Chains A and B, each alone.
Chain A
Amino acid sequence: EVRLLESGGDLVQPGGSLRLSCAASGFTFNYFAMSWVRQAPGKGLEWVSRVAGSSGNTDYADTVKGRFTVSRDNSKNTLYLEMNSLRTEDTAVYYCAKMRGATREVWYMDVWGKGTTVTVSS
């Protein structure tokens, strides 16, 4: 069974840092790109970042570029999101998602984790 399990969410002060993890199982992890998607309380989904399966190529939403860093350790089947200079508007449930497709134009998220909650507040 394909599973994704996020961890690392916490309450953090504005300007602080946090690292999220996503443990993957049930599929060949390094074959697939992975994304982080977040959902602020009562709001819709927002794509945050993507990392390629083996090349390490990354993409970021403009709202987090320069503050967040996505990475992966294929030997541990784990995805990470390093979040710095956190703002109150970063408060959200953060989901990791496995991506599927041949090109950027067709990629979609076929498996999602249950999410981990990040709260940025003083």
Chain B
Amino acid sequence: QSVLTQPPSVSGAPGQRVTISCTGGSSNIGANSDVHWYQQLPGTAPKVLIYGNNNRPSGVPDRFSGSKSGTSGSLAITGLQAEDEADYYCQSYDSSLSQWVFGGGTKLTVL
């Protein structure tokens, strides 16, 4: 069981908006640790999509946005495109474990 909880799968039609949640606890997201998001396209290494809760690295489209509230983080994707079909992971730091932790991952299917 992952310290951070994500839905196993989400889906949406092209052009739609989807959100992926990442629920933690008082020793990680709720303890003021940042939430980061990674995209892993099939057969490739992960790449950072959102860092520091809501910041996009250069080159990441503004269709992707992140937010954080309380013990949870959220990734929103608007204007869904076929190329967005991938696995998405959240990541934070857990002060009780003294370890960096990932969510279990969410598979996004574009219908």
Chain A residues close to B by CB (< 8 Å): 35, 37, 44-47, 50, 59, 61-62, 95, 100-101, 104-110, 112-115
B105 contacts A105, CB within 8 Å?
no
B104 contacts A107, CB within 8 Å?
no
A45 contacts B99, CB within 8 Å?
no
Does B33 have its Cβ within 8 Å of any Cβ on chain A?
Answer: yes
A50 contacts B45, CB within 8 Å?
no
Given contacts A104-B93, A115-B45, contact A110 B51 (CB under 8 A): yes
Report the bound CA distance from A46 to B100 in whole Å.
Answer: 9
A112 contacts B45, CB within 8 Å?
yes
Additional pairs, 16, CB under 8 Å, beyond known A101-B52, A107-B100: A35-B100, A44-B103, A45-B46, A45-B91, A95-B45, A95-B46, A104-B93, A104-B95, A105-B33, A105-B95, A108-B34, A109-B36, A109-B48, A110-B48, A112-B45, A114-B45
Report the bound CA distance from A37 to B100 in whole Å.
Answer: 10
Q: Give chain A nearest CB distance to B51 CB in angstroms.
A: 5
Count B interface residues, CB 8 Å: 30
A110 contacts B93, CB within 8 Å?
no
List residues of B (53-98) whose CB comes within 8 Å of A's CBs.
57, 87, 89, 91, 93, 95, 97-98
Task: List the A side residues contacting B105 at CB < 8 Å.
Answer: 44-45
Q: Give chain A nearest CB distance to B33 CB in angstroms.
A: 4
Q: Give chain B nearest CB distance to A52 CB in angstroms.
A: 14
B33 contacts A59, CB within 8 Å?
no
Task: List the B side residues contacting A109 at CB < 8 Å.
Answer: 36, 38, 46, 48, 91
A106 contacts B34, CB within 8 Å?
yes
Report the bound CA distance from A62 to B103 in whole Å.
Answer: 17
Task: List the B side residues contacting A115 at CB < 8 Å.
Answer: 45
Report the bound CA distance from A112 to B32 in whole Å.
Answer: 25
B2 contacts A44, CB within 8 Å?
yes
B100 contacts A105, CB within 8 Å?
no
B102 contacts A47, CB within 8 Å?
yes
A113 contacts B102, CB within 8 Å?
no
Q: Give chain B nearest CB distance to A61 CB in angstroms.
A: 6
